[in-house]
Amino acid sequence: MVARDALNSKTTLDSAVERLVKAHPGRSGVRLLPDGLEAFSLRVQSARAATRSIDVQTYIWRDDSTGRYIAHELLLAADRGIQVRVLLDDMDARPRDLSLEALDAHPKITVRMFNPFRTRSGWLRTLAEVLRRGWRLNHRMHNKSWIVDGRLAVSGGRNLGDEYFSSSADVNFIDLDVMLLGPAADQCVLEFERYWSCELSVPISRLRKYFSRKLAPEQLRARLAKSAQGAAKSEHVRQLDDGQMQKMLRRSIIWCSDVRVVADDPRKALGRDADSSKVLASMAAHIRAASREVWLISPYFVPGIGGTAALRSLALQGAHVSVLTNSLAATDVAIVHSGYAKYRVPLLEAGVRVYELKSSLVVEDLHRRMRLGSSRASLHTKAAIIDSEHVFVGSFNIDPRSAQLNCEMGVWIRSARLAAELSRSFQQGCDPRRSYELVLKAQGSLEWKSCENGSCVVFDREPNAGWIRRVIVKVLEKLPIESQL
């Protein structure tokens, strides 16, 4: 743990942030990060500007171009004497054990795994552990935070990897982070410390190993250096420059007096007090208090009976309630669509407007704006706008898994200006060139309205989704699996 006294020393990042915070006493600096390239750049540049500490908390860290580039930057920071702590959920991490252990071998880097598997390799051993401990292993840490020198924090929906930074050649996620300065960053620090010190965060060096092959730190360094050199010509790396960190701190920061970071208790992953999710409670409270509008963005949207009733009630009282989620063709987790599909008709009957993002974003201006590496996209943003004033950005999906099983994190910001900024993005996402609007026909069936090549098109079944995928979803709708979605 970084000593509190160390946080008082002056650094380049300290000085820049301190001047900003002192000019806005009692307020938190906030900036939305919808652009994948900028979100990547902020992480890299803040790591380069760090002089004391970097804390990383994430659900997924891909072993791809941007994932390795970030690892390389953390290694270089550690070489400068920066204390680096990495807290990674263990669900998808075991294939990276060798690399993570090599990082952990650096005297300035510590890696911990959240709720780890005891077995690290072998499908038979893994199956045996799942059979013994499946209830426990089903609870994951979905939180994401990036904290530099205890001064600047980034939190939201992004994991670390190409598809989250709009750099994939296949499918890219439309995602959202928020940069935080001042008191809100302090709150992120406290939440990271709470997770870092909990019993479920286990040093990777303590985990039982069944393999003898090791990756020496020198091998990892050479591998990461080679990967970073190979990425030098990519757009993401070419746009990095030494003065970018200062530019980011000067651009469009909104200072707010009401910013609240909320995170579930890490003991939720033990199956304790699963019904008392702080993030869920905060979302429910804001929705109940809404009077004019509730706009929700959730890639995996399974509102359940209670959530559906709450949204229906608001709409029937005259509030403008809209939901933007993935279409069946766009979603990366088709099984979740089976839980969502049954709630569309009840929501539409009450006047809730439902939009489903298309999988192919053919609009050139959007393609350029998002810097997508391909023509396919999937929604990954988790956000809400309440009464044109309250904004939520976080890791929380509106589904049973986020509510009951996974640990989640989010930021509530009270700002009409920020709400207007996010509202513009929401409306762009709901544009008929980019999304389908669902319409309830007189006989109770659904239609998907769209704009294709300048013409209005209506579909009478899930658009652009193959028949096999549609059949699978229909079958899954009949199974009692909603609590796991």
**pLDDT tens digits for range 432-468:** 999 999 999 888 889 999 988 888 999 999 998 888 8
**pLDDT tens digits for range 349-387:** 999 999 999 987 543 334 344 443 344 789 999 999 999
Q: Which residue in the list 14, 35, 139, 144 is annotated as catalytic?
A: 144
pLDDT exceeds 90 at position 233:
no
Instruction: Report in angstroms the alpha-carbon separations of 214 from 7, 305, 435.
Output: 36, 50, 48
Which pLDDT score is estimated for 2? Answer: 36
Based on the residue annotation, tell me whether 387 is a catalytic residue of this protein. Answer: yes
Structural domains of the chain sorted by starting position, each given as residue range(s) with its CATH number in brackets: 26-250 (3.30.870.10), 275-484 (3.30.870.10)
pLDDT exceeds 60 at position 237:
yes
Q: Which residue in the list 268, 382, 390, 399 is annotated as catalytic?
A: 382
pLDDT exceeds 90 at position 389:
yes
Least confident span in 200-209, 223-232, 404-413: 223-232
- Which of 190, 194, 186 lies closest to 266, judged by CA? 194
DSSP-assigned states of every residue in 198-209: STTEEEGGGS--
Q: How far apart are CA 225 and CA 210, in angstroms?
A: 28
**pLDDT tens digits for range 336-350:** 999 999 999 999 999
Candidate ranges 127-141, 220-234, 310-324; pick with highest mean pLDDT: 310-324
Based on the residue annotation, tell me whether 382 is a catalytic residue of this protein. Answer: yes
Based on the residue annotation, tell me whether 144 is a catalytic residue of this protein. Answer: yes
How many other CB atoms are found less than 10 A from the CB of residue 291?
A: 11
Residue keyed to tokens 């088709």: 334
Q: How far apart are CA 131 and CA 176, in angstroms?
A: 36
Q: Which residues have a Cβ under 8 Å from the Cβ of 115 and sit 6 or more positions away?
A: 89, 90, 136, 137, 139, 140, 141, 200, 269
DSSP-assigned states of every residue in 152-168: EEEEES--BSGGGTT--
- What's the chain's average pLDDT? 88
Mean pLDDT, residues 127-131: 82
Contact 158, 144 (CB under 8 A): yes
Mean pLDDT, residues 327-333: 90
Q: How far apart are CA 39 and CA 33, in angstroms?
A: 6
Which pLDDT score is estimated for 245? Answer: 72
User: pTM of the entire structure?
Assistant: 0.92
Q: How far apart are CA 335 and CA 346, in angstroms?
A: 20
Which pLDDT score is estimated for 175? Answer: 95
Q: How far apart are CA 295 and CA 355, in angstroms?
A: 11
Which pLDDT score is estimated for 469? Answer: 87
**pLDDT tens digits for range 171-208:** 889 999 999 999 999 999 999 999 999 999 999 988 87
Q: Which residue in the list 72, 139, 268, 380 is annotated as catalytic?
A: 380
Q: Which residue in the list 35, 97, 149, 175 is annotated as catalytic?
A: 149
Which pLDDT score is estimated for 98? Answer: 84
* Per-residue pLDDT band at 94 (split at 50, 70, 90): confident
Which pLDDT score is estimated for 242? Answer: 62
Which pLDDT score is estimated for 4? Answer: 33
Q: Which residue in the list 92, 186, 332, 387 is annotated as catalytic?
A: 387
pLDDT exceeds 70 at position 240:
yes
Q: Return the structure tokens found at 110.
A: 């510590």
Q: Which residue in the list 72, 142, 337, 358 is annotated as catalytic?
A: 142
Based on the residue annotation, tell me whether 149 is a catalytic residue of this protein. Answer: yes
Q: Which of the pair, 214 or 101, is modelled with greater confidence?
A: 101
Strand 293-297 to 320-326 pairing: parallel
How far does CA 260 lie from the centroid of its chain? 17
* Per-residue pLDDT band at 213 (split at 50, 70, 90): low
Contact 401, 484 (CB under 8 A): yes
How far does CA 32 lie from the centroid of its chain? 13
Q: Return the structure tokens found at 474.
A: 């229909």
